[in-house]
């Protein structure tokens, strides 16, 4: 009886050992398949990161006009795509390579140098001479010089006297409209407004807002040409500098279109990314059930 019980016990132990071995084999197989699925899913994560980086580069180009940051983002995106061996992504890799080459050829705007030039102009505004009123003595000298040009007839002298009286009422300058002269208080206010326009140009430069940048500089130049002494060398130099700054382009003209590669990456993720993630979940449940 004892021998029979011992044999039954040994048989039961052998059966359980066989079950455990079978279960262990099934578990090892499930884990191996899960590892393979995870390896297949890694490229989808890399492509997702690449799509984010390409979107970031596109935003920096279209919104901020920043080719430097866009170039760095595209280089990082290309590195992410190196781990994805899917041949379907090869056209995207080529498009990104062409975009990198195009951005390398773009000369970035030297914002620091432009800010320094605007700061120099702002400091010079306080010292620039403004227009001064014409004194009556100057008008008298002009009339005397005209009379000394030669003898005139009685009719000519009458016309000249009449013209002189009219000039006392209306001042006419040859070839230009009369510029209204400002009292001292208004002059100080104009200088402040001019400096505010230059500050507005500085802010537009930092935001890469080319229209606002050019508009502020053109308005400042118009005020300076109207109310400052343009015969003075310092004023002429300031006017030339304002004109040169207004001609600066804050955004490069030719930039690569990152819309097609970004759309291709999103389409790849739509087709493959969800599949890889869905394949892992049931395998994990099976391995541990």
pLDDT digits (tens, 9 = 90+) for 192-206: 889 999 999 999 988
Q: Is residue 172 predicted with pLDDT exceeding 70?
A: no
**What mean pLDDT is reported for the chain?**
76
- Distance CA(128)–CA(235), nearest Å, equals 6
The mean pLDDT of 256-260, rounded to a whole number, is 88
Question: pLDDT for 106-164, tens place per residue?
Answer: 877 788 899 999 999 999 998 999 886 544 444 445 555 555 555 455 656 655 665 55
Question: pLDDT for 28-45, tens place per residue?
Answer: 776 666 555 544 544 678
pTM of the entire predicted model:
0.50
Residue 177 Rama label (left phi>0; alpha psi -120 to 50; beta): beta
């Amino acid at each position: 009886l004892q021998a029979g019980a011992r044999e039954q016990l040994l048989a039961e132990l052998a059966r359980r050992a066989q079950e455990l071995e079978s279960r262990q084999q099934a578990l090892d197989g499930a884990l191996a398949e899960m590892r393979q699925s995870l390896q297949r899913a890694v490229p989808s994560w890399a492509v997702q990161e690449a799509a984010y980086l390409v979107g970031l580069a596109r935003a920096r180009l279209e919104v901020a006009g920043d080719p430097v940051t866009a170039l760095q983002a595209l280089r990082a995106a290309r590195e992410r795509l190196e781990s994805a061996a899917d041949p379907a992504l090869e056209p995207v890799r080529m498009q990104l390579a062409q975009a990198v080459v195009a951005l390398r050829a773009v000369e970035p705007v030297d914002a620091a140098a432009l800010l320094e030039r605007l700061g120099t102009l702002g400091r010079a505004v306080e010292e620039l001479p403004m227009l001064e009123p014409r004194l009556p003595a100057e008008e008298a000298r002009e009339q005397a010089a005209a009379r000394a040009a030669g003898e005139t007839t009685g009719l000519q002298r009458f016309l000249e006297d009449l013209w002189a009286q009219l000039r006392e009422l209306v001042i006419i300058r040859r070839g230009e409209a009369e510029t209204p002269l400002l009292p001292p208080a208004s002059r100080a206010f104009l200088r402040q407004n001019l400096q505010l326009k230059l500050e507005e140009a500085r802010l537009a430069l930092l935001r890469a807002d080319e229209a606002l940048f050019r508009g502020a500089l053109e308005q400042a130049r118009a005020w300076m040409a109207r109310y400052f002494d343009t015969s003075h060398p310092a004023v002429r130099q300031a006017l030339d500098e304002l004109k040169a700054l207004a001609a600066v382009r804050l955004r490069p003209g030719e930039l690569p279109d990152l819309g097609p590669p970004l759309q291709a990456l999103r389409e790849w993720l739509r087709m493959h990314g969800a599949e890889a993630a869905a394949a892992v979940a049931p395998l994990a449940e099976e391995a541990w059930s």
